[in-house]
Amino acid sequence: MIFGVERLLSEPELRRPLEGKRVALLAHPASVTRDLTHSLDALSKIDGIQLSAAFGPQHGLRGDKQDNMIESPDFTDPVHQIPVFSLYGEVRRPTDQMMSTFDVVLVDLQDLGCRIYTFITTLLYVLEAAAEHGKSVWVLDRPNPAGRPVEGLTLRDGWESFVGAGPIPMRHGLTLGELGKWFVDHFKLDVDYRVIAMEGYRPEEGPGFGWPGDRLWINPSPNAPNLNMARCYAGTVMLEGATLSEGRGTTRPLELFGAPDIEARSIIRIMQDTAPQWLDGCVLRDIWFEPTFHKHVGQLCSGVHIHAEGDAYNPQAFKPWRVQGLGFKAIRKLFPEYSLWRGEEFAYEYTKGMLAIDVINGSPLLREWVDDEGSEPGDLDAITMPDEAAWLEERKPYLIY
């Protein structure tokens, strides 16, 4: 299997339109070739590519910012002596001055296939700025480690944010290159957009079902340490809007949830009794953990670890968004008065006056289902399945693989 950046490096014909152009790179630590050479270093060695700038998304080009809402500064790359602009610092959108430093920007970002992962919003903002300034955007495509499955509610009108770029479901099942094509059409952008497609990408095939088994996993962000996290993330990311720990401060962030004052075994039992059909394709394991930072730091927590790996993993059956929603529902049943949601004083991704859980889901519908004592699993399916079916149809023209 050959990633987009590797094709650009090895096929001179693909690079020909870049001759005489100033080229920028939007990248992060996972922007590497098969031999783990960073794309910035690899591109700098190619005759005919004039690197003039680089950009970093959330967590920075270096991936050094551990938590959310920690901004990265601009700096000068010490090796290549080009400016590195932060798109998660003083600005989220490229400024006129930033846009003046290049003619073509290459986007080489490893995505996780989830609406809330901010790299896709950064791509949209770059596309919008490129349309305004007459610049070209090339996505050097990479796999979606969550594969093709689609799940979750579509973001509702008025709920757009830096973690909600547009009306797509939580797990969209597209590569970054494919999603960029949808952005261009949906937002009617007049921009020169190209995808350097992968070769040999077969997301429906095992054992990786989206991630090639012969490729090393490099963290695209500090708390994305492995493939299991990438598969679970479309559900566990909702924990950022809850008082429960999502495992930050442990070695398995965003694969688990817990708190000092819950009973994991009882929660798993209620989940199994309430909606066993939502638990297919994974295994739940009760655990104990003590975060070294972030929520419940230094406290012993009872938790649930979600395993979407090994023999039990079934990519078509696994429903991470429903699994996590069911976890919330089980806590509500077991502890009706539990303070589950972070309050409006927590301005998630700088969005004020809204509950973080609603910003994450692009509407209050998931939270309302959890908090409604009389709601059943079928009620959530009834509002979610039409969204999922509609997206499966809408995305068809944009599939490359």
Q: For residue 61, which phi and psi values (nearest 5 degrees)?
A: -55, -35
Give the residue carrying structure tokens 């199994």. 272
Query: Are 213 and 306 found together in one domain?
Result: no
Query: Are 182 and 294 found together in one domain?
Result: no
Distances (CA, A) of 14 to 176, 192, 367: 19, 15, 47
Q: Tens digit of pLDDT for each residue in 132-164? A: 999 999 999 999 999 999 999 999 999 999 999
Query: Are 237 and 381 found together in one domain?
Result: yes
Percentage helix, strand, coil for the chain under 3-state DSSP, each rounded to 5: 35, 15, 50
Q: Is residue 190 in a domain?
A: yes
Cis peptide before 29 (omega within 30 of 0): no
Q: Is residue 243 in a domain?
A: yes
Please tell me the predicted confidence (pLDDT) of residue 317: 97
Bridge partners for 27 per DSSP: 108
Query: Are 140 and 283 found together in one domain?
Result: no
Which CATH number belongs to the domain containing residue 126 in this structure? Answer: 3.40.50.12170
Local structure of residue 161 (DSSP, 8 states): B
Edge-to-edge, what's the strand order for the sheet holding 75-76? 75-76, 83-86, 50-56, 22-27, 104-108, 136-140, 192-196
Please tell me the predicted confidence (pLDDT) of residue 157: 97
Q: Is residue 127 in a domain?
A: yes
239: amino acid identity, one letter? L
Angstrom distance (rounded) from CA 91 to CA 85: 10
Determine contact, residues 357/342, Cβ cutoff 8 Å.
yes
pTM above 0.85, yes or no: yes
CA-CA-CA-CA torsion sign (266, 267, 271, 274): positive
Of 198, 220, 242, which residue constitutes the final position of a domain? 220
Please tell me the predicted confidence (pLDDT) of residue 65: 66
Which CATH number belongs to the domain containing residue 320 in this structure? Answer: 3.90.1150.140
Determine contact, residues 193/127, Cβ cutoff 8 Å.
yes
Please tell me the predicted confidence (pLDDT) of residue 62: 84
Of 195, 220, 245, which residue constitutes the final position of a domain? 220
Q: Is residue 121 in a domain?
A: yes
Query: Are 313 and 330 found together in one domain?
Result: yes
Determine contact, residues 35/215, Cβ cutoff 8 Å.
no
Residue ranges making up the domain that contains 60 = 4-220
Determine contact, residues 359/351, Cβ cutoff 8 Å.
yes
Query: Are 59 and 148 found together in one domain?
Result: yes
Query: Are 180 and 258 found together in one domain?
Result: no
DSSP track, 85-150: EESSSS-SS--HHHHTT-SEEEEE----SBTTSTHHHHHHHHHHHHHHHT-EEEEE----TT-S--
Query: Are 118 and 256 found together in one domain?
Result: no
Please tell me the predicted confidence (pLDDT) of residue 359: 97
Give the residue carrying structure tokens 């973690």. 163
Count of domains forming the chain = 2
Name residues of the chain where pLDDT drops below 70: 65-69
Of 163, 189, 220, which residue constitutes the final position of a domain? 220
Q: Is residue 396 in a domain?
A: no
Q: Tens digit of pLDDT for each residue in 287-315? A: 999 999 999 999 999 999 999 999 999 99
Query: Are 194 and 236 found together in one domain?
Result: no
